[in-house]
């Protein structure tokens, strides 16, 4: 748990960006393009935002308990399903543990006032609403990027996982999650208001094409959000208090 206490003038403090979109929408890819957070390795962007993603915690737990994430595609269906199922259903409980680790990591970041990008399908509206409210009570400005794809593209990308040596998700699961996220689109847009941005990601963009396609979004939204002054009154007051203490020589 890389829990850090950033300085009051460091980048990204009191900024929380939710990434929404169903499986196969390309949230991880868009995340790296918009905020510069790599899929692997160091968990921080040049803008100071840290990634909060239960999938990364799940991969960590798999390795810890002797499973090779790169070989998931070769596991029999029953073993693959048991790895993600809760203990109450006869599974390993690792997915629930991963969710708990993600929640603890997020709380740690909140305690340190760190900026973060929170990965979510957006399929659970009340959960996003609850998290948003909790973050704002702590002084955060909150935003959402909704990555939009058609169901056909989402299913196609899911099928292509096998070609990359990854485990293909059940078609019914992808469809269910896609429909739930799409159903919440209007509600999420209303919830975040002007801090909501939709990104269409139906095209299979090559790296150079992607840089061109998303560069305007980075300038207009990602960089703007991260670098603009804190709007939340609670966050503003915390910064004032810290600067006052710093000026007085109190740490």
pTM, to two decimals? 0.83
| pLDDT per residue as tens digits for the range 229-242 | 999 999 999 999 98
| pLDDT tier for residue 45 given thresholds of 50, 70 and 90 | low
Q: How far apart are CA 15 and CA 11, in angstroms?
A: 9
> What is the arithmetic mean of pLDDT over 166-183?
84
- Cβ-in-10-Å burial (0-12, 13-18, 19+) of 87 comes to exposed
Q: Retrieve residue 162's tokens.
A: 């096998």
Q: Could you tell me the residue ranges of all domains in the chain?
A: 15-247
Kindly report, residue by residue over 54-74, the tens digit of the pLDDT: 877 888 888 888 887 777 767
Instruction: State percent of the chain over pLDDT 70.
Output: 81
Fold of 15-247: Rossmann fold (3.40.50)
pLDDT for residue 40: 59
Average of per-residue pLDDT values in the chain:
81
User: Which value, in Å, is the radius of gyration of the alpha carbons in the chain?
Assistant: 19
């Amino acid at each position: 748990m890389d829990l850090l206490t950033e300085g009051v003038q460091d980048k990204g403090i009191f900024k929380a960006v939710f990434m929404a979109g169903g499986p196969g929408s390309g949230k991880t890819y868009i995340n790296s393009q918009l905020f510069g957070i790599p899929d692997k390795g160091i968990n921080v962007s040049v803008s100071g935002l840290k990634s909060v993603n239960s999938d990364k915690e799940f991969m960590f737990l798999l390795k810890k308990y002797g499973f090779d994430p790169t070989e998931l595609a070769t596991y029999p269906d029953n073993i693959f399903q048991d790895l993600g199922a809760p203990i109450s259903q006869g599974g390993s409980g690792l997915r629930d543990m991963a969710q708990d680790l993600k929640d603890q990591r997020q709380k740690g970041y909140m305690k340190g006032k760190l900026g973060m990008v929170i990965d979510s399908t957006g399929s659970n509206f009340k959960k996003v609403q609850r998290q948003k409210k909790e973050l704002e009570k702590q002084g955060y400005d909150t935003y959402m990027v909704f990555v939009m794809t058609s169901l056909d593209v989402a299913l196609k990308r899911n099928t292509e996982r096998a070609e990359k040596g990854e485990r293909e998700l059940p078609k019914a699961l992808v469809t269910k999650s896609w429909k739930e996220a799409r159903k919440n689109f209007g509600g999420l847009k209303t919830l975040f208001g002007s801090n909501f941005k939709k990104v269409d990601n139906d095209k299979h963009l090559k790296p150079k094409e992607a840089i061109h396609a998303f560069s305007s979004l980075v300038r207009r939204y990602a960089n703007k959000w991260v670098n603009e002054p804190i709007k939340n009154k609670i966050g503003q007051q915390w910064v004032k208090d810290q600067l006052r203490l710093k000026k007085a020589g109190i740490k």
